[in-house]
Structure formats: C-alpha cells, structure tokens
C-alpha cells in the first residue's frame, strides 16, 4: 500500500515522506506512516461497513497510506472524512505516484474531480488540494453550471450577498457548510480558498414528530381513513415533500425549496448528471440551515440524514408529475435505508 503512493501521505496538501534511514543503524529504516482503514476492520470502528467480507476488510483496497498524524485524524474525526472521500484521496495519491514514476519532472497530474456548489447558481468541477475542518482549498478544473465570470462576480460581491447564498456543497465528501469567506488564487493553476463554518450535527429520524400520510400523487391519503405517520416513515415522506418544493415559489421565502424542477427541465436527457445534481440537493437540504421566514430562526429541511450514499435515476418519465429517484442513505441513528422517492417536478411546456 505504501509503495503504491511512493511512501507519501495520501492526505491532500500533505504528501509527507513517511520512510527514511535510521541514523542509529545503517541497516534499518524509520517508518513514520500508517495504513489506515477506509472502512473499519471491526464493528463500532470508524466507517464500519457490515456488508463487507473479512477478506474485503483486510484487502489493500480498503486501506489508505497516511502519515501518523493524518492517519489518527481521519479516524478521530471519522464523521467528517467519508468513505467516498478517502477512496478518492487514495486514487489521487496513486495517480500522482504513477505519473511521477513515468516523468519525475511532472508536478501536476490528472486527478479525479468532484462537484463543488457555491450558492444557488454555480456548480464547479474541482480537485481537492488542502482540507481541514474549517478550511477547504480546491483546484478549479472547469465550470459545470455557470460561467467563470459569474464565479468572479460571486467572489467579488461575497460580503454583500444574501446570507442564504453563502454556502458550499462538496459532492465527494457529502458535506455542506455555511461559507464564511472565499478567495481565488493563481499559483500554477487556479485555486479556490474557502473558509467554512462547523458542520451541522445530525438528528435522529425517530424524533422528528408526526405528519399526515400522503398518497403517491402527493395528496392526502384517504385509504383506511386519514392517518398520521412518524419516525422514519415520516422522514422518508419528508425527503419527497422537501425536494418537491420549487426553489423560488414561496414569495416571502424564495430561498426555500430545491432545484430539482429546474435541473429536470435543463438536463432530463443526462441521467448521470441529473443524479449527481440531485444528490447535491439532498446534501444541501440536510446540512444548510435556512430561515423559514425572514423573521424566523434557521432550520434544515432534512437534518436527520447522516450520509447520502447513492442517488440514481432509472427513468425520466414523470408519474403524477413526479420523478422517481432511487436513494441509498444513512440515517442519523446510523441505520441504512434505500428505496424510491417520488419528487414533484414542474415540467416546462
């Protein structure tokens, strides 16, 4: 594992060499690195996945080489450093080692990119450069939604922007934060330097209260009389209703809702892109607090989601004006769920 990354730490922005000569013994070496598990080897460990076999847990593919400091960090703050993020870091470190082996003069390498959303209207392809709990630095790869001129404008006008536009969502990490500051730097590439607030705590879906049961068409369900649902059943229904609120349709609170309808009308012929954009919306609604009214306090639409593992779309056909979305997630009580979520879409004619 260590040799595949040239004995260097895989943590973005570190790259520290972890092996060297032992000054006390010319025949020995000092190893200052550690093989950290991506998914824990035992229950209750960091990022434990009960579906993995013993062989898979022991496999080199389930490990990432780190310096001892960062190996300790990713396990102590394991709720911040997700499985997908660690796998991406591992891949990027191996790409870098391979490229350097082919051409030692090459400093920059092709790395896998991830989506970064800034505010409502900017979606950017980026690569991790430096990550800390409250500082994110990314290398800009290209614009997905919006133009580079809009990114410049967003940064220049950041201090005067509405608080509801000051947020960042990162796809690979499954994280979203309130944005405190942002700057653009040129240093053998274009880099975005973000200062972010602390991550919001996850809530238990069993404690969210009750709601009236809705039918597949979104109206009240009268089968066997009007009934109330609570706990995870209510949480699943809220996934549907929260994502179905069209962003901008509530006049007094235009910042509320999701962009699913907007994305559908623009990208309904691009299944993979749609799935990634919808995943970003789930992440945003679970972690970014918004005011329900200009005079009210802030709250999150889906605070009971711990992690969105996967989003996919099998068909773009709307049934009862609803798009069926396959979702796999982890609740705030550490249990997993997967199923189909119907989301209302206002289709342009």
Q: What is the pLDDT of residues 30-56, one digit of tens each?
A: 999 999 999 998 888 888 899 999 999
- The answer on pLDDT for 110 being more than 50 is no
User: How do residues 270-287 score in pLDDT, each as one tens digit?
Assistant: 888 999 999 999 999 999
Whether this model's pTM surpasses 0.85: no
Residue 225 binned pLDDT confidence (cut-offs 50, 70, 90): low
pLDDT of residue 108: 47
- pLDDT tens for 6-24 read 999 998 778 889 999 988 8
Residues 6+ apart with CB under 8 A from 59: none
pLDDT, tens only, 167-179 = 999 999 899 999 9
**CA pair distance 308, 173, nearest whole angstrom:** 10
pLDDT at position 74 is 85
Q: 238 pLDDT band (50/70/90 cuts)?
A: very high
Q: Six-digit token pair at 165?
A: 């536009």
Task: Please determine, for residue 224, whether its predicted confidence score (pLDDT) is greater than 80.
Answer: no
How many helices (H) and strands (E) would you count in the chain? Answer: 7, 17
pLDDT category of residue 214 using cuts at 50, 70 and 90: confident
What is the pLDDT at residue 216? 76
- Going by C-alpha positions, the residue among 75, 85, 175, 166 that lies closest to residue 122 is 166
Domains and CATH numbers, the chain: 3-102 (no CATH), 114-196 (no CATH), 205-344 (3.10.450)
**Residues 283, 85: Cα–Cα separation, whole Å:** 15
Q: Is 312 a residue whose pLDDT tops 50?
A: yes
* 3-state SS class at 193: strand
pLDDT value at 217 more than 80: no
**Which parts of 159-259 fold into alpha helices (H)?**
231-244
Inter-residue contact 44 to 75 (CB < 8 Å): no
SS (H, E, C) 192-219: EEEEECCCCCCCCHHHCCEEECECCCCC
Q: What does residue 288 show for φ and ψ, rounded to 5 degrees?
A: -100, 115
The residue-averaged pLDDT of 259-274 equals 92
Where residue 106 falls among pLDDT bands split at 50, 70, 90? very low
| Bigger pLDDT: 75 vs 256 | 256
Answer positive or negative: Cα dihedral of 212, 215, 219, 221.
negative
**Average pLDDT score, the chain:** 89
205 near 302, Cβ under 8 Å?
no
Measured distance CA(141)–CA(124) in Å, rounded:
8
Contact 266, 239 (CB under 8 A): no
At residue 295, the pLDDT reads: 64
- The lowest-confidence range among 86-90, 217-221, 299-303, 344-348 is 217-221
**Over the Cα atoms of the chain, what is R_g?**
22
Q: Which of 21-25, 227-231, 285-289, 293-297 shows the lowest per-residue confidence on average (mean pLDDT)?
A: 293-297
- Of all residues in the chain, the percent with pLDDT exceeding 70 is 94
- Residue-wise pLDDT for 313-326, tens only, equals 888 889 999 999 99
How confident is residue 75, by pLDDT bands cut at 50, 70 and 90? Answer: confident
d(CA 49, CA 46): 9
> Which is more confident, 344 or 73?
344
Q: Residue 248: what pLDDT? A: 85
Q: Please tell me the distance from the alpha carbon of residue 335 to that of residue 340, in angstroms, as a whole number.
A: 17
Poorest-pLDDT segment among 88-102, 266-280, 302-316: 88-102
Q: How far is it, in rounded angstroms, from Cα 281 to Cα 278?
A: 5
């Amino acid at each position: 594992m260590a040799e595949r990354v040239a004995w260097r730490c895989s943590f973005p922005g570190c790259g520290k060499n972890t092996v060297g000569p032992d000054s006390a013994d010319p025949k020995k070496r000092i190893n200052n690195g550690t093989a950290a598990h991506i998914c824990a080897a035992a229950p209750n460990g960091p990022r434990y996945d009960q579906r993995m076999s013993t062989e898979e847990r022991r496999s080199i593919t389930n490990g990432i080489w780190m310096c001892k400091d960062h190996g300790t960090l990713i396990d102590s703050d394991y709720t911040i450093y997700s499985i997908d993020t660690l796998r991406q870091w591992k891949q990027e470190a191996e790409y870098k080692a391979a490229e350097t082996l082919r051409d030692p003069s090459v400093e920059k390498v092709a790395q896998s990119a991830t989506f970064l959303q800034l505010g409502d209207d900017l979606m950017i392809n980026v690569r991790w450069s430096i990550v800390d709990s409250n500082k994110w630095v990314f290398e800009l790869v290209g614009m997905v939604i919006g133009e580079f001129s809009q990114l410049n404008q967003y940064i220049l006008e950041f201090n005067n922007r509405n608080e509801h536009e000051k947020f960042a969502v990162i796809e690979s990490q499954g994280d979203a934060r309130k944005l405190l500051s942002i700057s653009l730097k040129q240093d053998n590439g274009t880099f975005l330097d973000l200062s972010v607030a602390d991550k919001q705590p996850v809530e238990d879906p069993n404690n969210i209260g009750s709601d009236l049961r809705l039918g597949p068409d979104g109206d009240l369900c009268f089968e066997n009389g009007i009934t109330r649902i609570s706990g995870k059943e209510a949480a699943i229904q809220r996934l549907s209703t929260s994502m179905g609120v069209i962003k901008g349709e509530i006049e007094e609170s235009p910042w509320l809702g999701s962009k699913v309808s907007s994305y559908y009308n623009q990208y309904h012929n691009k299944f993979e892109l749609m799935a990634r954009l919808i995943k970003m919306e789930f992440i945003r609604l679970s972690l970014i607090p918004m005011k329900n009214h200009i005079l009210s306090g802030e709250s999150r639409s889906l605070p009971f989601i711990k992690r969105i593992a996967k989003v996919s779309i099998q068909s773009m056909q709307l049934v009862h004006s609803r798009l069926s979305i396959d979702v796999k997630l982890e609740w705030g009580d550490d249990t997993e769920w997967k199923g189909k979520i119907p989301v209302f879409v206002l289709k342009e004619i």
